[in-house]
Structure 1
Amino acid sequence: MSFMFESIHHIQLAAPKGSEEAARKFFGGILGFKEIEKPDLLKARGGVWFGFGAYQIHIGIEEPFSPVKKAHPGFSVKNLESLKLHLKHHDIPFIEDDKLPGTNRIYVSDPFGNRMEILEWI
């Protein structure tokens, strides 16, 4: 082949109309992602974008809205135990899972019910 995929640029999650502030509180305030200004041509669609490192999370508005329950982004972290304490401090529930050998991992839902996997390789 003459082409090659280089990386994932962003992951899109859906949210209900008018949920931008809840997204900012969760993704920016609690998880610590940096908000990225959307291009002017896309601002009218609503939603909000965040980034960390070379990666982006785009929260897009979807009507009617239905959260994603099975398909999900997976985030690799350092110091999962510290993140778990941080989530508990903010009353964010998570589910621990030990079914992937070589990892500690949890599942957490964003404020809109979208499932996210967070794991640490051991």
Structure 2
Amino acid sequence: MIAGLHHLQLAIPEGGEDAARGFYAGVLGLTEVPKPAALRGRGGLWFEGPGLQLHLGVDHPFRPATKAHPGLRVDDLDAATCHLDAQGVSWRRDIDLPGLRRVYVDDPHGNRIELLELV
């Protein structure tokens, strides 16, 4: 029945687009893509990267996702954490799982993001 994952959506607060843009495009390197005209008035942003689409939608009232999170795969977790350090972005290591090394980082609005490397 399910053919694949089309996108993942996270919430941001009203007016949070610039901070989100700085993190998702500026730090994580995702590409911002235009939202369809019919949805632009709702606020928020859409991004894409290799094999992924991430939608950020304005939510009233806003509450960050501190448990539920996207797991974004990186090729080199050590290089990714060095990049985060250079950008002044805090991260925290989590327990590695079989076949995975991983860390967590919070976006500017408190949404938890997992960065993981397949090993």
Question: For the superposition of Structure 1 and Structure 2, which TM-score range results when normalised by the shorter chain?
Answer: over 0.9
What number of residue pairs does the alignment pair up? 119
The aligned amino acid for 1:32 is G
| Unpaired segments ≥5 residues, structure 2 | none
1:26 to partner: Cα distance? 0.5
Q: Scaled by the length of structure 1, what TM-score is found? A: 0.93
2:88 corresponds to which letter in structure 1?
D
Question: Aligned-pair RMSD on alpha carbons?
Answer: 1.0
Distance 1:52 1:68 in 2: 21
- 1:1-122 equivalences under 5 Å are 4-122=1-119
Gaps of 5+ in 1: none
TM-score (norm 2): 0.95
Name the CA distance, whole Å, in 1 between partners of 2:51 and 2:33. 12
Tell me, yes or no, if the aligned pair for 1:9 and 1:54 is still in contact at 8 Å: no
Give 1:86's aligned amino acid: H
Cα distance in 2 between the residues matched to 1:73 and 1:85:
21
Q: What is the CA–CA distance in structure 2 between the aligned matches of 1:84 and 1:6, rounded to whole Å?
A: 33
